[in-house]
Copies of this chain bind each other. A is one copy, B any other.
Amino acid sequence: MSLIKDAQRGLVTEEMKLVAAQEGVTEEFVRKGVAGGHIVIPVSPYRKVKICGIGEGLRTKVNASIGTSSDISDVSVEIEKVRQAELAGADTLMELSTGGDLADIRRQVIAATSLSVGSVPLYQAFIEAAHKKGAVVDMEADDLFRITAEQAKAGTNFMAIHTGINYETMKRLQNQGRHAGLVSRGGAFMTAWMLHNEKENPLYAEFDYLLEIMKEHEVTLSMGNGMRAGAVHDSTDRAAIQELLINAELADKAFNEGVQTIVEGPGHVPIDEIQANVILQKRVTNRKPFYMLGPLVTDIAPGYDDRVAMVGAALSSSYGADFICYVTPAEHLALPTPEEVFEGVISSRIAAHIGDMVKLNKRDDDLEMGHARKALDWDRQYAVAINPKRAKEIRDSRMPADTDGCTMCGDYCAIKIVAKHFNF
């Protein structure tokens, strides 16, 4: 089954109907988007997935990445992260564990959610090589493809795969140098592997085989961003753009084979380069869904990187990015806690909305909030707030004597003064 082929045959599937209803667009709009590769709808033949469309003309979606590390590995904490991410309104999850029993953790996480769950299969392949053979560079290509298929069968329904790192990309990196090197784990693993084995990246060299696996298991392919900058001074550099070109070329090939495809983008990007990144990526990928990672627009605010990424994500979304990977306040410092996962999702959701106000002119909730504020109607305000509970908690923690207003202005509330004295 291929949604792309269905759409191209003129068929409007149940998934497309659902997306159209969720988004308030026509079914034909969604069908055309899928048929043209501008919209993806991740599905899975192995489990029932909450349908969520990603791409042109649709609400900007937010992904929350969770997972263990070699230092902190407790599946119950990961399940709590799933719960917090869902509470905060994440649209998708990525399960990126690198510590503990990876297959078991993934199984339990998938069992705990109906959201689409993404993965990065090469993590498991490299880590198993390290455990079984002593070094990540001893990973064998066959194991990588086997694990990719296994993860799909376990219900992982989109995958970040580092197809764009090849000798050409590596040459750009070597010839250019970098301030902060590689910060993508997939990019670092694969580059190390290529250098050690003097072999081309199997995900690039055997891309046709990869596509067979994607097709067989109906996985949505998210073309990974292994060369993304890890510092604003490395942003939009030749290595990253070379990888984008390779990914874009392969994305067309995947699309032609009926594989739904997303292309990932940076990373660390100062605000004056975000628009160029979005325009370039949309152009060279023929308007494939753009999965923006962050982006972080300054490097000097560790502890607040969810807020830093909000600025980048809001701009990205306004310029046309379709899908935002959240960043938590623990980024660059530690594995996030469930509370930090919640904060990260909220920050990204606000950013996605700020962008959608421009990209899609989605401003109805803002208008309702403005009217509810003028009416001093707190229940109406909470009803359209992104987190009604938090808003209510803050106000209730300091209730005013006159319960119409709030303690900020008390008796001298501008809205009350206006209501008393004006009739316009």
Contact = CB atoms under 8 A, between A and B. Distances in A.
B370 A233 contact: yes
Nearest to A384: B300
B318 A272 contact: yes
A195 to B, nearest CB: 6
Given A387-B303, A400-B71, A357 B189 contact: no
A333 B388 CA distance: 12
A267 interface: no
A6 interface: no
Contact of A192 (B70, B98, B311, B420): B420
Nearest to A424: B174
A2 to B, nearest CB: 34
A385 B302 contact: yes
Contacts of A387: 301, 303-304
A370 B72 CA distance: 25
Interface residues of A, number: 108
A391 B303 contact: yes
B417 A180 contact: no
A332 B300 contact: no
Given A366-B299, A381-B302, A307 B398 contact: no
A414 B353 contact: no
A363 interface: yes
Contacts of A72: 398, 407, 410
A182 B409 CA distance: 14
Nearest to A413: B185
A25 interface: no
B421 A191 contact: yes
Given A191-B422, A192-B420, A123 B394 contact: no
B385 A300 contact: yes
A303 B385 contact: yes
Contacts of A202: none
Interface in A345-380: 346-347, 350-351, 353-355, 357-358, 363, 365-367, 369-371, 373-374
B418 A181 contact: yes
Contact of A330 (B180, B196, B351, B394): B394
A230 interface: yes
Interface in A303-347: 303-304, 307-308, 310-311, 314-315, 318, 329-336, 346-347
